[in-house]
Structure 1
Amino acid sequence: MGQPRRSVPQNVSRLVARLASTVKAAIFDLDGTLLPGTSAEREFIRFALQTGKQTAPAAIRTFLSWVVRIPTRGIQSNKTYFSGVEMDLLAETTETFCQQQLTRHIPDQAQRLIAAHRTAGDCLGIVSGAPEILIAPLKDLLDLDFVVGTTLACKQGRLTGDLDSPRVSGREKIRQADQVARVCEFDLRESTAYGNAFDDRFLLAEVARPVVVNPDIRLARLARKKNWPICVFS
């Protein structure tokens, strides 16, 4: 008689199946990519001014009116307008902001692309230089697996106007993407990334499928040189 067949433990079977299929992700930049021509911060400032949400002391509302007119890069480097804002109040306000204002700026092409990646079984997320507290609600609103942004410093329940960690841009995006890859258990090097700015080139170069969206001049030039696909969201 032959030896009796030994049953394979169920957890071993799952492990073998998992090793046989690499988990990939689709990582989206936000400002200028999922949000063509604008940024999360710019839209939040407009929202705060238009709705009268008291997310900041009245003394800086004039400053907000000025900030919304300066270039996006200026907003990226200046977080003074957050100084003194109650963290809990801001978090509550951003729920409404993302639902009522921010998601309507995400074009249909991007929404369909997210849906296609979801159907393919990809891990979905955003890695952005935008303040994480402003964009965190997008995780549930867009049915994503992760949202990573720049963290703001907080002291005794109020924002200080400073950053709590390096801004998530350039090479820092790779570090953040690596961290979330370990947590969500996907292979970053087999994944897809979408970006619009020259600073996004580092993360784009790390993945198997870099896609350039509404690129600035330098990224468009680099994309043509490397034969990266270019698409336009409008």
Structure 2
Amino acid sequence: MTMNKPNAAHEVTSAGVTRLALFDLDHTLIPADSDYEWGVFTTALGWNDAADFAIQNDVFYRQYKAGTLDIHAYVRFATRAIRQQGAIKSEAAHADFMRAVVLKVIQPQARQLVQEHQAAGDAVVIVTATNEFVTRPIATAFCVPELIAINLARDPDTGWFTGEIDGVPSFREGKVARVEQWLANRQLGWGDVQSTFYSDSINDLPLLEHVTHPVATNPDDRLRAIALERGWRILELFKD
């Protein structure tokens, strides 16, 4: 790991102030996009038309990287296969996905970073724009019970996903709103915490601007430029 500033996340804070460590997931804690890889995995199972899915998936991914993604349209697209296959087959496939893909890309230095915050007594939360079905098992693999992800609406009759988003999506400015709600549920506000947020993406600029210690982690080109301009810490988590 290389960085351009000392780690501020473990600084001693004043009495009564809680330390909060927030982590984006894709390309931040793991060197992959979990939703994209899940789409590739389900396509290999024959759950999607390979050519059509690849084209649409690539378009949405480019939009995400550019900061122009329609998150509602993307979630409908990304959950289409599991909605068609149902809960039992989808959950079994995701367990296979974890073994075949995700657990193989989780790197020791990412686990170590999370564990350092936990050992320091920080509240650790993964905050991701990927949906809860894909990301809950990944958060569990990091031993992080607190997950803020896109919540998926469920059909009241079947109990399975409808393809719509339930509540505020944890995407762009929505991440700020969802973290604020997480804090409010614990009778806390931003002024009550020393907060650190690790992210790779320009999409997370609103939350990076909101926390005490923004950390551009494996940053994309646009975020790197902003971090350098503003003197934010830059962390290359996946480089020696």
Question: 1:120: which partner in 2?
Answer: 120
TM-score (norm: length of structure 2): 0.74
- SS of 1:149's equivalent? strand
- Structure 1 residue 170: Cα displacement: 1.4
- Structure 1 residue 62: Cα displacement: 5.1
Encode CA deviations 1:166-214: one digit per residue, 9 max, x unaligned: 4311111011111222345666441111111122111112211110012
- For 1:189-204, what aligned pairs fall within 5 Å after superposition? 189-204=193-208
- For 1:46-61, what aligned pairs fall within 5 Å after superposition? 46-50=40-44, 52=45, 56=47, 60=49
Note if contact 2:30-2:110 (Cα within 8 Å) is conserved in structure 1: no
Query: Given the alignment, which residue of 42, 45, 61 partners 2:39?
Result: 45
- SS of 2:40's equivalent? helix
RMSD over aligned Cα atoms:
2.8
| Residues paired across the two proteins, number | 210
Encode CA deviations 1:109-167: one digit per residue, 9 max, x unaligned: 22211111111111112111101111011232211131111123332344333333343
Question: 2:53: which partner in 1?
Answer: 64
- For 1:21-40, what aligned pairs fall within 5 Å after superposition? 21-36=16-31, 38-40=32-34
- Structure 1 residue 106: Cα displacement: 2.8
- For 1:190-229, what aligned pairs fall within 5 Å after superposition? 190-229=194-233
Encode CA deviations 1:83-123: one digit per residue, 9 max, x unaligned: 33324543443344234422332333222111111111111
Note if contact 2:35-2:78 (Cα within 8 Å) is conserved in structure 1: no
Identity over aligned pairs, percent:
24
Cα 1:111/1:39, change in 2 over 3 Å: same
Note if contact 1:204-1:210 (Cα within 8 Å) is conserved in structure 2: yes
Note if contact 2:127-2:148 (Cα within 8 Å) is conserved in structure 1: yes
CA distance in 1, matches of 2:120, 2:167: 33
TM-score (norm: length of structure 1): 0.76
Query: For the pair shown, which has the larger CA radius of gyration, 1 or 2?
Result: 1
- Compare relative contact order (CA 8 Å, sep 6+) and give the higher one, 1 or 2: 2
CA distance in 2, matches of 1:67, 1:89: 23
Question: 1:80: which partner in 2?
Answer: 77
Question: 1:173: which partner in 2?
Answer: 175
Cα 1:81/1:174, change in 2 over 3 Å: closer
Cα 1:159/1:125, change in 2 over 3 Å: same
